[in-house]
């Protein structure tokens, strides 16, 4: 863990995401300070990494995308799964994701914070979560989110910042892959790859999740 605990509440973080959804283009979900060309090439690389992990699990029946944002990655997931449930806590982000997935009949949307998402009776084959858990600042809420993820899916593709070249703001918290593995009951790392976004280093991990406790 690299930073002191934030005093921000979950409500303040939610309000910030409503504000970010009103930005233009990829700045809605990526660093507004980075040039568009870098955001675009990093997005292409992120899609490639997510696709690579999903291809390793093929065939994928059901996928849960946690924190789908503007739907930057949702069509990539939908191309590799029979059905996708895309979840986000921010209404305007879900509206953008619905527009990005217009014409994709296998994608459904649900609004909920990950730490409160309902646990399904039948597990998803895979959950995909890219740059979302770093915005869950409170450690108890993060632990609850990880419990729900582990109870909801058989595998997890997890991408989160581990090291930031430009210090992250008050709305993010850097944690290492080991921190997440510890919080995910029964987790086993299958493969770790890396994603460099202008000097900000993220891990892109494929994780097998254990049986429901």
Query: Residue 149, interface with ligand SAM (CB under 6 A)?
Result: no
Count CA atoms closer than 13 A to 28's CA, side-chain side: 20
Nearer to ligand SAM, 112 or 188 (CB): 112
203 scored as a contact of ligand SAM (CB under 6 A)? no
| Closest distance to ligand SAM from the beta carbon of 140 (Å) | 13
| Binding status of residue 54 toward ligand SAM by CB under 6 A | no
User: Residue ranges of the alpha helices (H) in the chain?
Assistant: 10-20, 36-57, 74-78, 91-100, 139-152, 177-183
Q: Which is nearer to ligand SAM, 159 or 211 (CB)?
A: 159
Q: Measured between alpha carbons, how far is 54 from 109 in angstroms, rounded to an integer? A: 20
| Residues whose CB is less than 8 angstroms from the CB of residue 72 and which lie 6 or more positions away in sequence, other chains included | 26, 29, 43, 46, 100
User: According to CB under 6 A, which residues from 100 to 119 bind ligand SAM?
Assistant: 113-115
**Tokens describing residue 199:** 């000097």
Minimum distance of ligand SAM from residue 67's CB (angstroms):
3
Q: Which is nearer to ligand SAM, 53 or 135 (CB)?
A: 135
Enumerate the β-bridge partners of residue 6: none
First to last CA, the chain: 26
Q: Which is nearer to ligand SAM, 27 or 181 (CB)?
A: 27
Least Å distance, CB 63 to ligand SAM, is 13
Residue ranges that bind ligand SAM, judged by CB under 6 A? 17, 29, 67-69, 72-73, 88-90, 93, 113-115, 130-132, 135-136
């Amino acid at each position: 863990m690299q930073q002191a605990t934030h005093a921000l509440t979950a409500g303040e973080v939610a309000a910030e995401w409503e504000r970010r959804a009103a930005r233009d283009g990829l700045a809605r979900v990526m660093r507004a300070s980075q040039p568009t060309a870098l955001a675009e090439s990093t997005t292409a690389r992120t899609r490639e990494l997510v696709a690579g992990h999903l291809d390793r699990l093929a065939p994928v029946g059901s996928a849960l995308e946690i924190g789908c944002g503007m739907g930057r990655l949702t069509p990539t997931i939908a191309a590799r799964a029979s059905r996708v449930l895309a979840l986000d806590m921010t209404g305007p982000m879900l509206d953008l994701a619905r527009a990005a997935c217009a014409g994709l009949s296998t994608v459904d949307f649900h609004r909920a914070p990950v730490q409160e998402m309902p646990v399904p009776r039948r597990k998803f084959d895979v959950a995909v979560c890219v740059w979302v858990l770093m915005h869950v600042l409170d450690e108890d809420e993060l632990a609850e989110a990880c419990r729900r993820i582990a109870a909801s899916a058989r595998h997890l593709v997890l991408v989160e910042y581990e090291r930031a070249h430009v210090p992250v703001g008050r709305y993010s918290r850097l944690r290492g892959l080991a921190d997440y593995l510890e919080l995910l009951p029964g987790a086993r790392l299958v493969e770790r790859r890396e994603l460099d976004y202008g000097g900000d280093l993220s891990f892109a991990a494929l994780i097998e999740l254990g049986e429901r406790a």
